[in-house]
Amino acid sequence: MADQPVSNPGKFTRSPATTQQPPPSPAPPAPEAADCWLAVMNDVIGHPDLCEDMEARRAYGLGKYKVPVKPHNGRDALLDAYQELLDAAVYLKQKQLESIDARVVNVYHAVLTQLLRLYPIVREKG
């Protein structure tokens, strides 16, 4: 059966035969996997000093917000990441202007590259 007009002009309803159900929602993450900081630390497990800094930052967040960063927390993770990268770019440029260090310049350019990659994704979400 084809699309059928309804009482409101310009709106159509699909017949049951052509209506597709959206895919089921993914299951919520397991409690042990719900802490994003722990998931990231697991990705860099071979770098204990970095994990130590991450654990300190995680502890700071837990003290301030009382919960770890978790998926499906109601925040826009892409927008948050984009805004944090904007801040990182400014801090790195500040350091670059204070004293030239090729490593800082390289990281600054890497952050700009990530911003340029993330910008269209954030903007398309509107």
One DSSP character per residue, 44-110 reads TTT-HHHHHHHHHHHHHHHHHHSS---TTSSS-HHHHHHHHHHHHHHHHHHHHHHS--HHHHHHHHH
Instruction: Specify whether 121 is located in the same domain as 82.
Output: yes
Please report which helix (H) or strand (E) contains residue 12, including its range. Answer: strand 12-13
Instruction: Specify whether 56 is located in the same domain as 45.
Output: yes
**How many structural domains is the chain composed of?**
2
Task: Read off the pTM.
Answer: 0.69
In this predicted model, what pLDDT tens digit does every residue of 47-93 receive, in sequence order?
999 999 999 999 999 999 999 999 999 999 999 999 999 999 999 99
Domain membership flag for residue 6 = no
3-state SS assignment for residue 20? coil
Please report which helix (H) or strand (E) contains residue 119, including its range. Answer: helix 102-125
Residues 6+ apart with CB under 8 A from 51: 41, 44, 45
Instruction: Specify whether 86 is located in the same domain as 63.
Output: no
Domain membership flag for residue 10 = no
Residue-number span of the structural domain to which 35 is assigned? 31-74
Instruction: Specify whether 88 is located in the same domain as 53.
Output: no
* Residue 98: CB atoms within 10 Å: 9
Predicted pLDDT at 100: 87
**Percentage, residues of the chain above pLDDT 70:** 73
Instruction: Specify whether 82 is located in the same domain as 55.
Output: no
Domain membership flag for residue 8 = no
Give yes or no for a contact between 80 and 88, defined as CB atoms under 8 angstroms apart: no
Instruction: Specify whether 53 is located in the same domain as 98.
Output: no
Instruction: Specify whether 123 is located in the same domain as 96.
Output: yes
Domain membership flag for residue 98 = yes
3-state SS assignment for residue 13? strand
- What is the CA 18 to chain-centroid distance, rounded? 35
Predicted pLDDT at 34: 82
